[in-house]
């Protein structure tokens, strides 16, 4: 955000200087705020990402959404990613970075971005640093929401998803207004088969195994802030809000 001075005519015809809030614009990297948000399945990351997006006018950039978009539009990057996915191979980092680079060209990112699901490894983190450096930019802060495994499993056991748009609900704490109907798009809300406790426990373990080295990497650089995900939704958001406010 910044203030732009403009000249306007006053009541007697003279020029006056007024300041107006412009927000971020393309081509001025000093105005952009870049954050990474990560945390294990069930910690409520998606809910908080949407609140931060609205609260700070940040583009919420999920790598999962990027992949789905490129595959759906059959872009060159999408076709390249699909060629790896079809044979069960990991998509190379340069393909993912290419998608993030393309996303950064969209007007809604000029004020800043909240990266969700990327980076996942130190190599990806270094690639992200290089990408931002190309634009004269850098990460402001890395937000790590975490909670004990029993809490995560309890939440995931009550998790519901919209079959159409993917919106997430919780049967106990955040149910849809109409049972079985998505508040966002009106699609069917259901519980996924892979939300079984044993499957979710393995997902949490794998996530933490992959992510903890990345957390240590960012902590060593003084960029990591740990957020207690066992708090209420509002309390977690307030913790995040304070960190983002200080970093801007």
Query: 210-213 contacts: CB < 8 A, separation 24 or more?
Result: 210/120, 210/121, 211/38, 211/40, 211/120, 213/121, 213/122
DSSP reduced 3-state for 58: coil
| Tokens (6 digits) for 70 | 């490129």
The runs of H, that is alpha helices, within 110-196 are 122-134, 149-157
| Tokens (6 digits) for 95 | 């393909």
Tell me the residue length of the chain. 248
| Tokens (6 digits) for 101 | 């680079």
CA angle centred on 72, ends 67 and 73, rounded to 5° = 100
Give catalytic residues, as residue numbers.
Answer: 45, 120, 159, 192, 203
């Amino acid at each position: 955000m910044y203030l732009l001075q403009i000249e306007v005519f006053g009541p007697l015809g003279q020029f006056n200087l007024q300041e107006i809030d412009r927000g971020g614009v393309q081509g001025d990297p000093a105005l952009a705020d870049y954050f990474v948000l990560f945390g294990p399945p069930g910690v409520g990351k998606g809910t908080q990402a949407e609140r931060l997006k609205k609260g700070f006018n940040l583009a919420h950039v999920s790598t999962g959404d990027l992949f789905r978009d490129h595959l759906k539009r059959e872009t060159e990057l999408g076709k390249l990613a699909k060629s790896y996915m079809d044979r069960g191979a990991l998509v190379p980092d340069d393909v993912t970075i290419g998608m993030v680079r393309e996303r950064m060209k969209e007007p809604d990112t000029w004020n800043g971005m909240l990266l969700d699901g990327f980076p996942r490894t130190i190599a990806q983190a270094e690639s992200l640093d290089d990408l931002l450096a190309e634009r004269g930019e850098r990460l402001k802060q890395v937000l790590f929401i975490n909670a004990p495994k029993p809490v995560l499993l309890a939440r995931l056991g009550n998790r519901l998803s919209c079959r159409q748009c993917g919106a997430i609900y919780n049967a106990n704490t955040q149910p849809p207004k109409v049972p079985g109907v998505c508040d966002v798009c009106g699609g069917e809300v259901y519980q996924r088969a892979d939300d079984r406790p044993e499957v979710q426990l393995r997902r949490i373990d794998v996530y933490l195994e992959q992510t903890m080295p990345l957390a240590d990497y960012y902590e060593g650089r003084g960029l990591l802030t740990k957020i207690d995900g066992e708090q209420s939704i509002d309390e977690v958001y307030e913790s995040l809000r304070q960190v983002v406010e200080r970093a801007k």
